[in-house]
Structures are given as structure tokens and as C-alpha cells.
């Protein structure tokens, strides 16, 4: 597997941009996919957001200056795409007066690509209740065990505020799950 420096060197050589980009896609698409999927849950929507992310990466790769790691840069694009989608969905849900968390439960139970049990369904329902940005903070820390410093680079904000946001979400979810089980 090529490292980031090799991929960028090939890209900058001239005439091999597409090959370099394919290496980037092969190296990182699966990690990006799971980051998005943990947030949106549905495979088809995840695929759309992943495609959007990679198309944007292709478009903006000429401007990538290497100030951050290549994966951090890609992760940031994926996170922004996903957050934009989640915020639109949240507003749509509010305007339609629908109960989002029961919709999530029904969706997961009906989804052939979901193989979790009742407890996991409840966990995702609780995560889904969080505001989009807090949901992202929680998912990145809880599932991906990302360092707060890396999270701050991707999401913005201070390490302290991200820690507080995560802990607040963690306590809320823990309390609600313990009440149910």
C-alpha cells in the first residue's frame, strides 16, 4: 500500500493524476464509508455521501497544501458532507412533525444490511436524537476512538468544548439506555 507522500508525489508528477487519485480512493474509501455509515445508518445514503466526498476530493486535490494529513483532509470533507445532510434531514423531520427516533428504529429493523440486536437499535436511536454536530463528536470518539486534537482539526472548536460535548452525550445516552434495559 502506498503511503500519502507517494500518492501525492505521483499526483504532482503530471500525467498520472487519475492513477494517484485511484490509489487514494482504494486506500481510504472504506474508512470514510464507515465514518459516514455510523452517522447516517443507511447504505444507499452512505454511498451517495461517499461519492460526493470523493468527487469533491478530486476537485480540490490540486489545492491541497499538505498542512494536514491527507486522511484528515478527506475526513473533513466527508464530515462536512454528512453534517450538511444530517442538518437538512433534521429540519425536514421537525417540519413534518415526525418522531425521528421511532423512524430510525423501524428503518433499522427493516434494513437487510443491519444485523444488530435490540440493544444496538436502541443505541442508534439514542445517538440519532443528538444534534448533528454532537452526534458526529460522539461517533468519532465512541466508535473511532479519535483523539480530541484530531477532532478539533476536523470539526473546529476547542478540545475542551469537544470533550464537554462528548461527555454530555455519553451521559445522556448511558442514562437512557440504562432506563430501558
Partner 1 sequence: MLEDLKNRERPFKVPDGYFASVEDGVREAINQPVKGGRLFLSTVRSGFALAFSFLLIFGIGYGVMSVTDSFTSTGFGADDDALSTLIEGGYIRHDFVDYLYEEIELDGDFLAQDIELDEEFSQKIEEGLTEDDLIEIMEEYEDE
- Which residues of this chain interact with partner 1, rule CB under 8 A? 18, 22, 25-26, 29-30, 33-34, 37, 41, 43, 47, 50-51, 54-55, 58, 87, 90-91, 93-94, 100, 112-117, 119-120, 123, 129-134, 142-143, 157-161, 163-165, 167-168, 170-171, 173-174, 177-178, 181
Alpha carbon dihedral 27, 75, 40, 166, in 10-degree steps, equals 130
Q: How far is the CB of 37 from partner 1 (least distance, A)?
A: 6
3-state secondary structure at position 98? coil
DSSP 33-92: HHHHHHHH--HHHHHHHHHHHHHHHHHHGGG--SSS-HHHHHHHHHHHHHHHHHHHHHHH
Least separation in angstroms between CB 68 and partner 1: 20
CB of 174 vs partner 1, minimal distance in Å: 5
The alpha carbon torsion through 11, 15, 20, 21 (nearest 10 deg) reads 100
- What is the rounded CA–CA span in Å between residue 120 and residue 126? 10
Name which of 43 and 68 has its Cβ closer to partner 1. 43
Contact in structure between 153 and 72 (CB atoms under 8 Å): yes
Nearer to partner 1, 12 or 113 (CB): 113
CB of 16 to partner 1, least distance (A): 15
Indicate the residue among 9 and 170 with the shorter CB distance to partner 1.
170
Shortest distance in whole angstroms from residue 66 CB to partner 1: 22
Closer residue to partner 1, CB minimum distance, 51 or 72: 51
Cβ proximity to partner 1, 27 vs 68, nearer residue: 27
Q: How many residues does the chain have?
A: 181
Q: Are 141 and 166 in contact (CB under 8 A)?
A: yes
Amino acid at each position: 500500500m502506498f503511503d500519502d507522500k507517494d500518492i501525492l508525489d505521483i499526483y504532482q508528477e503530471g500525467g498520472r493524476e487519475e492513477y494517484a487519485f485511484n490509489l487514494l480512493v482504494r486506500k481510504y474509501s472504506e474508512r470514510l464509508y464507515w465514518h459516514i455509515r455510523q452517522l447516517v445508518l443507511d447504505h444507499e445514503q452512505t454511498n451517495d455521501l461517499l461519492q460526493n466526498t470523493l468527487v469533491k476530493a478530486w476537485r480540490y486535490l490540486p489545492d491541497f497544501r499538505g498542512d494536514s494529513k491527507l486522511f484528515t483532509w478527506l475526513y473533513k470533507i466527508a464530515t462536512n458532507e454528512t453534517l450538511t445532510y444530517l442538518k437538512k434531514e433534521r429540519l425536514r423531520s421537525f417540519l413534518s412533525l415526525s418522531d425521528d427516533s421511532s423512524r430510525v428504529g423501524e428503518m433499522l429493523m427493516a434494513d437487510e444490511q443491519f444485523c444488530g440486536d435490540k440493544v444496538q437499535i436502541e443505541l442508534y436511536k439514542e445517538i440519532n436524537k443528538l444534534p448533528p454536530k454532537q452526534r458526529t463528536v460522539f461517533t468519532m470518539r465512541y466508535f473511532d476512538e479519535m483523539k480530541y486534537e484530531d477532532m478539533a482539526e476536523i470539526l473546529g472548536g476547542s478540545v475542551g468544548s469537544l470533550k464537554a460535548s462528548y461527555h454530555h452525550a455519553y451521559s445522556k445516552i448511558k442514562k437512557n439506555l440504562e432506563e430501558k434495559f
